[in-house]
Amino acid sequence: MGELLEKIAKRRTFAIISHPDAGKTTLTEKLLLYGGAIHLAGSVKARKSNKHAVSDWMEIEKQRGISVTSSVLQFDYDGYRVNILDTPGHQDFSEDTYRTLMAADSAVMLIDAAKGVEPQTKKLFWVCHRRHLPIFTFINKLDRFGRKPLDLMTEVEEVLGIKVYPIDWPIGIDGRYKGVYNRLTREVSLFQADTSHGSKQLAVIKGRLEDEQIRSRLEDEIYQTLLDDIDLLDMAGEDFNQDQVNRGELTPMFFGSAMTNFGVQEFLERFLKLSPQPQPRQLQNGEILQPDNESFSAFIFKIQANMNPAHRDRISFMRICSGIFEKGMMVYHLQSGKMIKLAQPQQFMAQERTIVEKAYPGDIIGIFDPGVFGIGDSLSDEKLKLQFEDFPVFPPEIFARVQPKDSLKRKQFEKGILQLSQEGAIQVFQQKDIGVESFIVGVVGTLQLEVLDYRLQNEYSAQLVLNQLSYTVARWVSAENPEQIEAIKGLDNGMLVYDKKDRPVILVNNEWALNWILERNPGLAFLSVPPDAAKV
Ligand code: G4P
């Protein structure tokens, strides 16, 4: 096997999706612990007081105790190179999460055993499902009282409409959780609780159900329940089918406790075996690009400015889709039509950065960005010059007019607004012909406005005056002739603005107003996303 094929076969790139508080940060940390990337997992309590979870980057995250930006973490396990795309759990940042999912080959859906399928789980599940991403389910917090495993299975099946195949079945529930039974290998793992509160790897006793060392460690009631459950699942449950997993039609389910490490290693090992290697990617022209294509290609799914406040830098994260990346290589950037040198490529392990010499399909690398890249941009060998499929665009629902508080700071202010919109943190619109240059920002959730305010002050030293507008709906406008667009300029119940590509957009208070305008302006059409963007 050639170098490229070998590397592809051993790569796994996935995102963890969940409702806030299901335990994503904890699970990520524990996967890193088992991957040897960290040696002592800080308990979440310790993180709250003095130490922050490894994937927290930005100051605002620390202050608010939430995870705002997606980060990428990498570790090796059993010959595999694992790339975890950490997605923010807060619902206001769903846009960022959706973009991150574009770079993943599979997703791990984390569910709190006591809460079941929550609203954010559903939203994120649907995005994955629509893209036919393979989804693995990890039911977390088994150390506590929770819903019955069979009920959780049924809930996932009924609420999300995906078939479930439990691979690890819990032994003992409701505070009596002892281990897991693997239905594929028929092997039992019993966990030896220690006093490290999950900061170290657990000792595990492995064996078959009939083995005396297993049997003697389980109370009769727990043992009998396990036998009954296994019989029931084998008789009435789905069969395991890898093709269905690959198509995202069946989700392998695992049970564990990220906090106590119960079931984490068992999950990781099985997940690496069953999850897909880097997959072919869809191109704009309808063709499919195979990862083992020798020519290099990648797309940018995330841009983050000022990750290190001391350096004022801006990093673009790209997912490699084909070929081999080598440090310093020249690539063609489709959107600017220029050849660009990929100097100082970096990989990220929390705040530590390492320079990458070589990287392969599935890998995520960050490069210093001189300000030319945008979300969804395509990079490739000059001979390929390809364009990946467009990223989904979300119509913003909250709008505000923003201005610098101090007009002497206008330059910093404009730079900040422009960069944050390139990062995809906000969408920016402008009104035309009103004398002063005025920016209108559009976001999906109000927390984004707070982040905008905070970052402009902290990163660009520009204070903001922000006036929220009453509009809640944005539509891109197309017309048979430009005069029809002119005609809706002076509307009382709407505002005509232009996006950063100079496309006209109408802002109104409600859907009803849209119909009102359409009825009076034949020839106009309204689109919920830009005319050339993919719909979610
Ligand atoms: P998130 O990133 O998905 O938002 O969740 P995070 O890991 O921060 O975990 C949210 C809370 O759930 C934390 O508690 C964490 O300790 C707890 N947790 C995570 N995994 C488990 C688990 O397997 N079992 C139990 N019992 N709890 C778990 P917290 O209330 O924020 O802090 P604390 O006061 O409990 O330390």
Closest Cα partner for 273 from 185, 361, 204, 358? 185
Is the dihedral angle over the CA atoms 271, 273, 274, 280 positive or is it negative? positive
CA nearest ligand 1 atom 11, residue: 21
Eight-class DSSP state of 91: G
* pLDDT > 70? residue 146: yes
> pLDDT exceeding 70 applies to what percent of the chain?
88
For range 301-309, the mean pLDDT: 72
pLDDT in tens, 471-492: 999 999 998 888 888 888 888 8
**Residue 33, Cα to own-chain centre: how many angstroms?**
21
Spatial distance between the Cα atoms of 187 and 204, rounded to a whole number of angstroms: 12
Specify burial of residue 95 (Cβ count, 10 A radius: 0-12, 13-18, 19+). Answer: buried
Closest Cα partner for 275 from 241, 309, 242, 229? 242
Q: Which of 63-67, 187-191, 202-206, 249-253 has the lowest mean pLDDT?
A: 63-67
User: Can you read off the two tokens belonging to residue 52?
Assistant: 């922050």
**Can you state the angle between helices 446-460 and 410-422, rounded to 10 degrees?**
130
pLDDT band at 55 (very low <50, low <70, confident <90, very high): very low
501 CB less than 6 Å from ligand 1? no
| Distance from Cα 135 to the centre of ligand 1, integer Å | 22
Q: Evaluate whether 86 touches 348 at the Cβ level (below 8 Å).
A: no
- With residues binned 3-state (H G I as helix, E B as strand, rest as coil), the percentages for the chain, rounded to 5, are 30, 30, 40
In angstroms, the first-to-last Cα distance of the chain is 38
Stated as kind and residue range, the H or E segment containing 155 is helix 149-155
Q: What is the pLDDT of residue 105?
A: 97
Which position has the higher pLDDT, 295 or 432?
A: 295
pLDDT band at 307 (very low <50, low <70, confident <90, very high): low
144 CB less than 6 Å from ligand 1? yes
- Name the 3-class secondary structure at 456: helix
pTM of structure: 0.83
Q: Evaluate whether 27 touches 258 at the Cβ level (below 8 Å).
A: yes
pLDDT in tens, 325-365: 999 999 999 988 999 998 877 776 544 567 888 999 999 98
Give buried/exposed letters for 352-381 (b at 16+ CB in 10 A, else e).
eeeebeebbbbbbbbbebeeebbbbbbbbb
| Distance from Cα 22 to the centre of ligand 1, integer Å | 7
pLDDT band at 88 (very low <50, low <70, confident <90, very high): low
121 CB less than 6 Å from ligand 1? no
| Distance from Cα 183 to the centre of ligand 1, integer Å | 28
pLDDT in tens, 282-304: 998 999 999 999 999 999 998 87
| Distance from Cα 447 to the centre of ligand 1, integer Å | 22
16 CB less than 6 Å from ligand 1? no
257 CB less than 6 Å from ligand 1? yes
503: phi then psi, degrees, rounded to nearest 5 = -95, 140
